[in-house]
Amino acid sequence: MNLISINPANGKPLKKYPAHSLKHIEQKIAQTHKAWLGWKNTGHDERSRLLTNMAGILQTRKNELAILMAHEMGKPITQGVAEIEKCAAVCQYYAANAAAFLSDQLIETEASKSFVSFQPIGVVLAIMPWNFPFWQVFRFLAPALAAGNCGVLKHASNVPACAIAIEEVVRQAGFPENVFQTLLINSAMVEKIIENSLIQAVTITGSTHAGKQVAQKAGSLIKKTVLELGGSDAYIILEDADLEKAAEICVNSRLINSGQSCIAAKRFIVVKSVQKVFTGFFLKKMTVKKMGNPLDTATDIGPQARVDLRNELHDQVKRSIKKGAKCILGGEIPKGKNAYYPATILTKVKPGMPAYEEELFGPVAAIITAKDEADAIRIANDSSFGLGAAVFTRDKDKGEKIAANQLQSGSCFVNAMVKSDPRLPFGGIKQSGYGRELGLFGIHEFVNIKTVFVGE
């Protein structure tokens, strides 16, 4: 069997990659485990040096790697460059902070000495998606390596070239051989990999359905998981918001990565008194966004990653319209053998519609009208997802209270676009998953938090 890389901008195959056999996979995992036996004893200074090397290589190769993403999954080139720069930043962050995050913590007890130690656990399996093919991997990989763990990667089947390039970057940075390896496999092989006794934990970024399958299998083997799954982020627009500025932020969030982001804004919940004005600003700003060749720096919206995903998105739009939603922009599949889908706005979105209930993974905005502030918060929380949320108001104190105490999600932003940051923990609740990546909490997910008690 082969993994085939296809350019979604024109539908043309790029390259075939022979899939690894189960025997080959087992050999690779054994190699990575062997590498871990040495890597876990490497000092923090050396780990930091290599992470800094990796950051430098990413910066040097950022244009080349951004072009690779544009070809393989359609990411607009300027966004691809920004993604690689963010990968470099997370490497630098853990190079600078991992030693402090992992230092022993003394605890006062009746012992002559008692403390908490943070020890690496071994080989972690990472199951990663195509939408941010470098960032999703590096936000796992940088803290994993900094903590003394090793990793194997099952990347999405449509981005094998990106997966191979990540392994090349690790090797080029000077890390010991096999501390990180890419497994070229399809999803059917994942269960066998989780069963491998040398795999100690699993992290997955993907759909809620995939997360449930991984969690069930890993749970049956008592292996820890971190799940970063789907989202249907709600952005609340209150009566006192700066409506034009809010519309600009909302549009930019909805269209990040051509709309294919777990934490892209998806549901825009607008208080009734300002709904008409906000929608006008939103429509104006969405209309000027350019859809086109992802290699063109003027492009805002590239193709969707695959034709089947684009068709699923269009079906959600059609079913929402059939149930009463109104399409005021876009909503039509362009001609040609490609995976493009235009910027689309649905209004009059109500419960029972796909645009209200489901995650729309593409450049489709759902505008929902709320009676007032309390109703807007209720609607925002009326979702099976809980990844990110935002609230827009000129009263920052009120916005902070709503974000901190009333919105049900892993990240809540005020007057700003929801985004991940190496310094802050990232993850969701409800059907959006559990566990955290990034920051102090992210590096502690895959370590043995060990109590050491020294008696008299």
For position 37, which CATH number holds? 3.40.605.10
Residues 263 and 225 in one domain: no
Q: Is 150 a catalytic residue?
A: no
Tell me the CATH number at 244: 3.40.309.10
The catalytically annotated residue of 87, 162, 250, 262 is: 262
pTM over 0.95: yes
Residues of the domain holding 272:
233-421
Looking at the structure, do residues 366 and 445 belong to the same domain, yes or no? Answer: no
pLDDT tens string, the chain, 456 residues long: the values are 789 999 999 999 999 999 999 999 999 999 999 999 999 999 999 999 999 999 999 999 999 999 999 999 999 999 999 999 999 999 999 999 999 999 999 999 999 999 999 999 999 999 999 999 999 999 999 999 999 999 999 999 999 999 999 999 999 999 999 999 999 999 999 999 999 999 999 999 999 999 999 999 999 999 999 999 999 999 999 999 999 999 999 999 999 999 999 999 999 999 999 999 999 999 999 999 999 999 999 999 999 999 999 999 999 999 999 999 999 999 999 999 999 999 999 999 999 999 999 999 999 999 999 999 999 999 999 999 999 999 999 999 999 999 999 999 999 999 999 999 999 999 999 999 999 999 999 999 999 999 999 998
Let me know if residue 354 belongs to a domain: yes
Residue 426 falls inside a structural domain: no
Domain count, the chain: 2
Q: Do residues 259 and 324 share a domain? A: yes
| 241 in the same domain as 223 | no
Does residue 386 share a domain with residue 348?
A: yes
Burial tier of 80 (Cβ tally within 10 Å: 0-12, 13-18, 19+): buried
Q: Is 262 a catalytic residue?
A: yes
Choosing from 83, 228, 358, 359, the catalytic residue is 228
Regarding whether 178 and 270 lie in a shared domain, the answer is no
